[in-house]
Structures are given as structure tokens and as C-alpha cells.
A = this chain, B = another copy of it.
Amino acid sequence: MTARISYTLADVATRAGVSEITVSRVLRNKASVAEKTRERVLAVVREMGYVPNRVAGTLASSGSNLVGVVLPSLSNIVFPDVLRGIHAALAPSGYQPVVGVTDYDQEIEEQLVASLLSWQPAAMILSGLHHTSYTVEMLRRAGVRIAELMDIDATPLDIAVGMSHHRAGIDTARYLHGRGYRRFGYVGHDRSRDLRAARRYEGLRQGLAEAGLSLEGEIAAAAPSSTSAGRELLGQLLAAHRDLDVVVFSNDDMAVGGAFHCFAAGIRLRDELALFGFNGLDIGQALPQPLSTLRSHRFLIGRTAAEMILEPRGADARPVIRDTGYDIIEGETA
């Protein structure tokens, strides 16, 4: 490996017998350049393997093609799905995501936002609508488009793309009540960090209350959601509450674990115990009995957000909310 030898515009210009700015124009398809000149320059560029230095370009033109992306986690497939959507929409326009992961910690988010903003990104994409006040301050100052994903239950700084988790909780209660279930249990994960799971939980309780019902048993791990946690917790919950007829899980990972518990314990899904999840993951739908759940549109959320931030902001500074909704998947477990 040789030492870093990178050519500059000047090198290319010299070899092509033109000025730097002409090379620059050719590479950016700017202004008018004679066809002959353009061809000569391009030939030299290819021959030298010249790669423009975007750092310099960004400094000179004060505009980068980077988009800061701050996600809470990469541990289950949900946020990678969102990131795929973001990438799908950004790639064709030549934008690059710069990713940070907060582990659901707002202090880490604050540092990441500072760090990402220091790269003068063209836009920022975050998760959720709650941030430290300094984070909000920095984002406001940055003067770029900002998308806040997943959640639309509060007012965004600029753009919110996602669904109402509160309503999802209510609709879950209504749906299951409508199917005749009356004795509800709940299996959850760490709600203090996953605020959207908390909101669904509240919605669920509200929906049950409207029907004159309440949770007869509930259990939650302090840990993040996982299939194994769902499996164990359902076992514990059923040990304490034998008469439940349906259990709602904080998400599909947990619910699939619950289904595994039932397989192992010989509990017939739906006939003996109904299960309901959240997210609509492939794994739940591939179960012998497809999981009854609520499908969030994660890829769509990412793609829509990325499309929206690339559009210039209008003069009127009104926040925009884009509801990507959700679908109830009937499945065969509830």
C-alpha cells in the first residue's frame, strides 16, 4: 500500500491544459463547457483515477451531501428497516447517511447531534419527538430540514413521519374486545427507555377502560425486547394468572417468544390463549399460525422521511406531520 497520494483539481487541470475551475465545472455538469474540453477533461480524470475531495467542496460551497441519521438501536430489525428506507430514498440523489446510535439515551443523542451537525449535513433524521432542550436548540440553529420518525403524537420541529402509538394501543384493545376477549394480560419490555412502547401500553389500557375492562395481569422486563424474554415472561405471567384469554405483547419479538412458550407448554394458540403483537415482522407471519399483530410501516417511514427532507423548506415554517398509519393483521393467534 502506497502512502496517501490524492490528486487535486489542480493536478487534473494541469494535465488537461485547462484551469481548475473548468475541471470543476465539467465534474459538476455546471455552466457551459465546450464538448471537446469536457471530453478531454473527463479522459484525464479517468486516467488519473481522480476522486474529488468533498470536504473541500463542502467548505467552499457550504453544502454537503451528508444526512445525519440518529437511531436508538440496531438490535432488532425495526431500525435497520427504517435505515433501509432512508438509504433507498437517499442513494439515487447521491446523499450519504451518517449514522449514530443512542441506545435510547437522550444525553448520547445530544452528543451525536452535535457531532453530526459539525459535518454540515444537508438534513437530519432522528427518532421520536422528545429530545433534550440543547439538542432542540442545536437543531433549530442548524437551519436544515429535520425529520423526526416513528411517532406523531406530539408536534415536531419540522417534519414528523410515523404513526400514533397511542391510537395503536387503543385500536388493539378495541380489536381484541371485538373478537370477544375479556381477560387481558400484558407482557412488556423496558418502557422507561422505549417511549413508544409506553405509549402503546397507555393506549391499550385506555381502550380497555373504555370497554369497562382492565389488565388482569402484566409483567415487564427491565431489559430490551427479545424473543427469549417474551418466552420466559409469558411463562411467568401464566403461572400467576391462569385464567387469561388473551395476552398483548409490547412487540412481535416478544410475542413470537410467547408463541414458542405455548408450543413448548402445549398451549393451543387462540383456542386456549390468544396472542397479539406489534410490528408485523416476517418472523411472526412465518409462524405455523401467523401472529395476529399490527403492522407498522418501517421501510416506508424511512423512505418517506428521506424524500421529504430533500425538498426545500417553504417560507412558512409550519411543522408537517405525515401519518404512515398501520394495519391490523388478523393472523391466527387472536
Contact = CB atoms under 8 A, between A and B. Distances in A.
Interface of A: 1-6, 49, 51-56, 58-59, 64, 66, 74-77, 79-81, 83-84, 87, 91, 94, 96-101, 114-120, 134, 137-138, 140-144, 157-158, 226-228, 230-231, 256-257, 260, 263-264, 282-283, 285-288, 313, 317
11 contacts: A5-B141, A49-B138, A49-B141, A51-B141, A53-B118, A53-B120, A96-B119, A99-B99, A227-B282, A227-B283, A228-B285
A143 B3 contact: yes
A87 B101 contact: yes
Contacts of A285: 228
A52 B317 CA distance: 26
Given A118-B53, A141-B5, A286 B96 contact: no
Nearest to A95: B115
Nearest to A75: B84
A198 B197 CA distance: 40
Contact of A101 (B84, B116, B158, B256): B84
Nearest to A119: B54
A-B residue pairs, 9 tightest by C-beta = A4-B143, A227-B286, A264-B288, A54-B118, A80-B80, A74-B80, A263-B288, A228-B286, A74-B84
Given A1-B143, A49-B134, A55-B58, A256 B283 contact: yes
A23 to B, nearest CB: 15
Nearest to A52: B118
Given A96-B98, A99-B97, A288 B260 contact: yes
A301 B98 CA distance: 21
Given A76-B77, A260-B287, A6 B59 contact: no
A144 B3 CA distance: 8
A261 to B, nearest CB: 8
A227 B77 CA distance: 13
A6 B96 contact: no
A2 B115 contact: no
A74 B98 contact: no
Given A2-B141, A256-B286, 11 more contacts: A2-B143, A49-B137, A49-B138, A51-B138, A55-B119, A74-B84, A75-B80, A97-B99, A227-B283, A257-B286, A283-B283
Nearest to A5: B141
Contacts of A143: 1-6
B1 A51 contact: no
Contacts of A51: 114, 117-118, 138, 141
Nearest to A281: B227
Contacts of A76: 77
Given A75-B84, A260-B288, A288-B264, A115 B142 contact: no
Nearest to A82: B74
Contacts of A117: 51
A207 B312 CA distance: 59
Contacts of A114: 51
Contacts of A77: 76-77, 80
A229 to B, nearest CB: 9
